Amino acid sequence: MALKIWLDTGLVDEKEARISVFDHGLLYGDGVFEGIRVYRGKVFELEAHIRRLFESARALRLTIPMTKETLTDAVETTVRANNVGDGYIRLIVTRGVGTLGLNPFTCEKGNVIIIADTIQLYPQELYEKGMKVISATTVRNHPLALPPQVKSLNYLNNILAKIEALDNDVPEAIMYNHEGYVAEATGDNVFLVKNSVVYAPPVEAGSLEGITRAVVMRLARREGLDIVEKNLTRYDLYVCDELFLTGTAAEVIGVVQIDGRVIGDGTVGPITRLLREKFFRYAHGKEQA
Ligand code: PMP
């Protein structure tokens, strides 16, 4: 079925949803976006996503041509117009149409695009058996070059690492920063468990401030688990008891091998399973966080 897409000020048919070749989102990756889940018709953590989008835009001096409230309404309208029960929203704000030069201020107005569609999840088997990953040789962007908190339209750093993963027949790669500390996976945040304590790299190490990450941290604390944010090395990943990733699309997924080395006993560990279960319940309105 053809989708209704939000473009700029209202809904249009999928085939009418087109943007200019002079949009700086296309010419330079100049823009910001969010990936958001819908569970049983309810948009997940919408306020947090809208906040992060506005902060990303602010950091880039990109003016979003809507208020937080009108943008929130536009997201809800798009979800309803497409009858999305369980799905995924892509919310994009490009810099807009300008001249061929870099100068963002030639762009008169940002373009807002909202797509609400179904989602391609990892196969269920991967959640049960756990995922294999590799360490990427591509170093995560220096946080002082491009703040990792900015969810920009330029994902080339992560795409280069994703290519390494796919070349090695695994779905994900762990990225390290310029100092060798764990930053994040190409589209997910990283956690490990050692002696029943949950560890996560600080965002300053070079990761997006994941919304799933924040929810999982709250759920873990509610379960009485200790969470420590500290710099982690490849060694820490090699010797941990459990490793898992979090993200809007992946939710919580266990990792059982890295660089061909088995993690823990090679199965998805108990704390990962617990947090995945708690996350599922929270997303479906059956649990507080
Ligand atoms: N890191 C990167 C680079 C991402 O693109 C994402 C989102 N796919 C995440 C982490 C996870 O963030 P969130 O939980 O907000 O989806």
The protein residue whose alpha carbon is closest to atom 7 in ligand 1 is 187
Mind listing the pLDDT tens digit of every residue in the chain (289 residues)? 799 999 999 999 999 999 999 999 999 999 999 999 999 999 999 999 999 999 999 999 999 999 999 999 999 999 999 999 999 999 999 999 999 999 999 999 999 999 999 988 899 999 999 999 999 999 999 999 999 999 999 999 999 999 999 999 999 999 999 999 999 999 999 999 999 999 999 999 999 999 999 999 999 999 999 999 999 999 999 999 999 999 999 999 999 999 999 999 999 999 999 999 999 999 999 888 8
Domains annotated on the chain, with CATH:
4-117 (3.30.470.10), 124-283 (3.20.10.10)
Cα–Cα distance for residue pair 259/158, rounded to 1 Å: 18
Catalytic residue among 132, 151, 162, 278: 151
Q: Are 173 and 159 in contact (CB under 8 A)?
A: no
Whole-structure pTM over 0.85, yes or no? yes
pLDDT, one tens digit per residue, over 43-90 is 999 999 999 999 999 999 999 999 999 999 999 999 999 999 999 999
Residue 151 bears catalytic tag: yes
Atom of ligand 1 nearest to the CA of 49: 15
- The three-class DSSP label of residue 271 is helix
Give the Å distance between the CA of 169 and the centre of ligand 1. 21
Dihedral angle of Cα 248, 118, 128, 215, to the nearest 10 degrees: 20
Cα–Cα distance for residue pair 26/19, rounded to 1 Å: 9
pLDDT, one tens digit per residue, over 208-245 is 999 999 999 999 999 999 999 999 999 999 999 999 99
Q: Any idea what DSSP says for residue 76?
A: H
b/e sequence 212-230, b meaning 16+ C-beta within 10 Å: bbebbbebbeeeebeeeee
Helix count (H) and strand count (E) of the chain? 8, 15
The protein residue whose alpha carbon is closest to atom 10 in ligand 1 is 188
Q: Are 2 and 13 in contact (CB under 8 A)?
A: yes
Give the Å distance between the CA of 248 and the centre of ligand 1. 7
Q: Are 62 and 96 in contact (CB under 8 A)?
A: no
Give the Å distance between the CA of 106 and the centre of ligand 1. 30
